[in-house]
Amino acid sequence: MKKQAGFSLIELLIVVAIILIIAAIAVPNLLRSRMAANEASAVGTLRTINTAQVTYMTTYPATGYTALAALGGASPCTPAPASACIVDATVSTGGAKSGYTFTSTPGSDVPASTFGSNANPQTFGTTGMRNFYSNNGFIITYTTNGQTAGPSDSVLQ
């Protein structure tokens, strides 16, 4: 009788168990790094919105700061007060970008001399662990409790 070559069932089960243990260790780290990347993207987008608000206010001084929708525009975009073509349409239409949604609203005075912007995770705890806020003071604050951030929350370092 010929001796059969190959792996036994026990050997294969041990290899599968080792692979599952390695995956169980790696997946949470991957998810944490994904959340950190989403949060970094949200902060970068808030900074872009801040810059866009200043650009808009300089370009259209009779309006002052504006709503997020007016900072973008449909492609092809022709700059005008209602669609300044400064930020990406994904952001200006309130769509999700890197797991976060964005809002920016002007103050009630005319021309608007203030604005406030928020970046909130689509699914708190999954796409991000922090909510961000910025205004015409250009300081970004955040919360970690799932509530919308405001000007009196912790300052992002």
pLDDT surpassing 90 at residue 71: yes
- 45 in a structural domain: yes
- 3 in a structural domain: no
- What is the domain extent for residue 111? 9-155
pLDDT of residue 36: 97
Confidence of residue 87 (pLDDT cuts 50, 70, 90): very high
For the chain, give the percent of residues with pLDDT over 70. 99
- 85 in a structural domain: yes
Query: Do you find a cis peptide bond into 111, omega within 30 degrees of 0?
Result: yes
Q: Domains in the chain: how many in total? A: 1
- 80 in a structural domain: yes
pLDDT in tens, 35-65: 999 999 999 999 999 999 999 999 999 999 9
- 67 in a structural domain: yes
- 48 in a structural domain: yes
pLDDT of residue 94: 84
Q: Is 72 exposed, middle or buried (0-12, 13-18, 19+ CB in 10 A)?
A: buried
- 4 in a structural domain: no
Measure the CA–CA gap between 136 and 112, rounded to whole angstroms: 11
User: Between vectors from CA 93 to CA 44 and to CA 38, what angle results, nearest 5°?
Assistant: 30
For the chain, give the percent of residues with pLDDT over 90. 84
Identify which has the larger pLDDT, 4 or 128.
128
